[in-house]
Amino acid sequence: MLDCEERHLRLETRLKALEDATVSGVPGQSIATRFWTHYGRISIVAQNINEKIEREVGTLRTEMKAGFAAVEQRFEQVDQRFEQVDQRFEQVDQRFEQVDQRFEQVDQRFEQVDERLGKLDHRVSLLGTEINMLRSTAHEMSDGIAKINKDSARRDLRIDKIEKQLATHDERFNSIEALLIRIDAKLTGDQPN
């Protein structure tokens, strides 16, 4: 047991001598002082690094806020475009109602023609002139139907354009969603503990 105490005392003496000795060309400084000096320098460097990290994080937050503001502005623009599309659909619905009214008018005209044919059966002698009148009426109706068909074709083209625009908006939403997912992943991964 005494042997251990002696060894301990000898080791403490040697440690003190090493601490007091000149190490690496620095006279009069103990190892503890040198460690303390290095610790102070490391603390200053760490503080500078922390300050730089805080500045960078502040800059990143500012950029992210600006990015989110831009995304929100784009969402507002998309909402406005959807409102415009809704208005266009309402206009298309109104036009379809007008077309339906025209078809009802055409149906009424057909009913009138049927009534006229019923009356014309007993007038065989005037049949030739009445048929000519009906032919001219039928030509007018076919012109009207042709116009309605052209209007329907134009409406179909407009609806196709609207569908293409909606597909473009879907692609934009998907890219925005992917961007938001990446931003969220970066935010959750970079937060300090």
Tens digit of pLDDT for each residue in 110-163? 888 888 767 756 665 666 776 778 788 888 888 888 888 888 888 888 888 888
Supply the pLDDT for residue 141: 84
d(CA 44, CA 50): 10
Question: What are the tokens at 143?
Answer: 């012109």
Torsions phi, psi of 122, nearest 5? Answer: -80, -5
Task: Pick the range with the lowest mean pLDDT from 20-29, 41-50, 117-126.
Answer: 20-29
How many helices and strands in the chain, by DSSP H and E?
3, 0
Asked if residues 163 and 124 have their Cβ atoms less than 8 Å apart, the reply is no
Does residue 31 surpass a pLDDT of 80? no
Torsions phi, psi of 83, nearest 5? Answer: -65, -40
Per-residue confidence at 193, pLDDT binned at 50, 70, 90?
very low
Per-residue confidence at 73, pLDDT binned at 50, 70, 90?
very high
Number of Cβ atoms within 10 Å of the Cβ of 99: 14
Q: Is 26 left (phi over 0), alpha (psi -120 to 50) or beta?
A: beta
In percent, the amount of the chain with pLDDT more than 70 equals 84
d(CA 184, CA 187): 5
The pTM (predicted TM-score) of the whole model is 0.31
Asked if residues 65 and 73 have their Cβ atoms less than 8 Å apart, the reply is no
Does residue 23 surpass a pLDDT of 80? no
Q: What is the mean pLDDT of residues 23-46?
A: 77
pLDDT in tens, 79-120: 999 999 999 989 988 998 998 898 899 889 888 888 876 775
Does residue 22 surpass a pLDDT of 60? no
Supply the pLDDT for residue 46: 92
